[in-house]
Amino acid sequence: MKITLNGEMRDLTGPTVQDALVQAGLGAAKVATALNGAFLPAAARAETTLKDGDALEVVAPMQGG
């Protein structure tokens, strides 16, 4: 299915958010996620199923002021 991951169109099989992160090479990274603009807690990733057209944001700690 087609998922927008961090603004890029990706073809991932899923079906869960956790699966998609693994498929995108982010399975082991310490990240936070938002699905379609709403916060998705880490504990909910394995039981949240993606659907075609979903937008997933995956963020990590970065420099800030």
- Judged by beta carbon, residue 11 or residue 41, the one nearer another protein is 41
Q: Which residues contact another protein by CB under 8 A?
A: 6-7, 26, 29-34, 37-39, 41-42, 57-65
Nearest 5°: the CA angle 55, 60, 61 is: 145
- What's the closest the beta carbon of residue 63 comes to another protein, in angstroms? 4
**Please, what is the minimum distance in Å from the beta carbon of residue 1 to another protein?**
21
Rounded least distance, CB 16 to another protein, Å: 18
**What does each C-alpha distance from 41 to 11, 29, 38, 47, 51 come to in angstroms?**
23, 14, 10, 11, 18
Q: Are 36 and 54 in contact (CB under 8 A)?
A: yes
